[in-house]
Amino acid sequence: MRGPATLPRPALLEDAAGADDILDIGIGDDILVVDDSHANLVAAEAALEPLGRRVVCVSSGVEALTKLLEQDFALILLDVAMPGISGIETARMIRARERSRGTPILFVTGMSWHDKEIDEAYEVGGFDFVVKPVRAEVLRAKARVFLTLQERTRALRRQADELRASQARLHEHELHEQRSRFESELLDSKLQQLADGTRRHHALAGIIGNELLNPLQTLQMAFDLLREHLNALGTLGAAAGERIHSVVEHRLVHVTRLVKVLIDVAQVGNGQLEIHTETVDVADVAAEAIDECKPLIDGRRLTVRLDADPAVTPLIMGDRARLRQAITGLIDRAARSTDAGGQIIVTSSVTARDVVLRISDTGRGIAPAQLPRIFEIFADDGAPSSDAVNLGLTLVKRLVELHDGTICASSPGLGKGTTFELRLPLGPQDVELSSTEIYLPQDLEIAPELAASSPGRLAAPGGSAQTTSRS
């Protein structure tokens, strides 16, 4: 299940975050009046008093800069022609300070202005001009414009802050809702998985119960027959006793095999299955597995061929018994799914990193829709068997994975055979096996070049192996 996606930051939040730079105009409340004439200071104070703001008066540019270090102002009324630092230079130094960079400056002058002086005044940050003699109504009107702009700017900033906070709360709420939905979906999914697992366990228990019950009932019937007709067996003859013995033996083998596979599957699932690693020749193990399935192969009149690359010995590090168990399971499945007279080909090869073992048959094949689930415990593996659950291939896959290997199945379709491919990590190839005999079952068809490359290593029970040409 995918995790909750991160919600994008709302656009209005970003716009509001940048509003401070755009709307920063007059961050103080008072009005600063700078003029070297005391009479002009008094007149300016009287003219600005009706605006309801405190008026701070200083008589030089130095004093103005000092006041700006102490506090911020909403508006600066600045005389241009002052001794010492002129109004233009004072404005330039005011604008050099970050906090007062947006404070409106209203120049007051009694001189006639030329274009050059006007350009310079605007360049240093002047907002407007008032010409002496100053009319109180004009000064108030101009000052009121900037103060009103400041009030509206503050109101807009408050709205932006409120909007930012509101959107932050909304964003957090949406994240919480999304997280809650995700957690709820995850919980539902986990509960569904647990429910499915419980149902599967119950189904598995029922299936295994039936699998064990059927042969046990047969055994019970056989023993009841023996008990009831014990004296009559002598008159029935050896043939009847042999038939009863065969039925009992067949059912005991089936029950024993089923129980062993169940134990192995449980141990693999619980991580309790031990792997004892050693250097193993995969081709040798495949030959042993073929011989183990020989009664079934002979009974169905199948042809089995083992091909191995004679140039490279397919060595891996693994548990010989468990690998033989896995390969035997695949050959057994191939034999059961192949009609009489069919063929099974076991091919061993070595790549740069892996030992590859392919087991192909000409049997019933697997439907394309069934292939992705072929190794699941409740899947139909396409082979006729007395098992109602797919324990064999499930165990094979887990045994291969315990060896850090992979297994996959392919089939062109129903009636076109199946190929299982095992890939196991290549082991060290410098192991001396010249004195070791490779076990080959009787009547196994092997490639001529394989027999020629290792004449001293090939042995079969009770005699030497027969080398035949490939068909």
Range with the poorest average pLDDT among 168-182, 247-261, 415-429? 247-261
Q: Which residue range(s) make up the domain with 221?
A: 206-269
Mean local confidence (pLDDT), 20-31: 68
Rounded distance between C-alpha atoms, residue 204 and residue 198, angstroms:
10
Whether 242 and 288 map to the same domain: the answer is no
Mean local confidence (pLDDT), 252-276: 67
pLDDT of 395 reads 80
Tell me how many domains the chain contains: 3
pLDDT of 329 reads 87
pLDDT of 312 reads 84
- Closest C-alpha to 22, from 99, 96, 100, 102: 102
Whether 324 and 449 map to the same domain: the answer is yes
Query: For the segment 50-71, what is each residue's pLDDT rounded down to a tens digit?
Result: 999 999 999 999 999 999 999 9
Whether 301 and 233 map to the same domain: the answer is no
Whether 453 and 317 map to the same domain: the answer is yes
Whether 262 and 282 map to the same domain: the answer is no
Rounded distance between C-alpha atoms, residue 315 and residue 215, angstroms:
41
Ranked by mean pLDDT, the top range of 19-33, 140-154, 254-268 is 140-154
Helices (H), 318-447: 320-336, 391-402
Query: For the segment 278-311, what is each residue's pLDDT rounded down to a tens digit?
Result: 999 999 999 999 998 898 899 889 999 999 888 8
Of 387 and 344, the structure prediction assigns the larger pLDDT to: 344
What's the token pair of residue 200?
């599967």
pLDDT of 285 reads 93
Mean residue pLDDT across the chain: 77
pLDDT of 5 reads 46
Does residue 52 sit within a domain? yes
What's the token pair of residue 173?
């709420």
Whether 27 and 84 map to the same domain: the answer is yes
Mean local confidence (pLDDT), 105-133: 78
Rounded distance between C-alpha atoms, residue 59 and residue 41, angstroms:
8
Using 50, 70 and 90 to split pLDDT, how confident is the model at 112?
A: low
Whether 221 and 290 map to the same domain: the answer is no
Whether 239 and 283 map to the same domain: the answer is no
Whether 305 and 228 map to the same domain: the answer is no
Q: What is the dihedral of CA 420, 424, 428, 433, to 10 degrees?
A: -40
Whether 60 and 149 map to the same domain: the answer is yes
Contacting residues for 401 by C-beta, under 8 A, at least 6 apart: none
Largest Cα–Cα distance of the chain, in whole Å?
Answer: 150
* The model scores a pTM over 0.85: no
**CATH number for the domain that contains residue 321:** 3.30.565.10
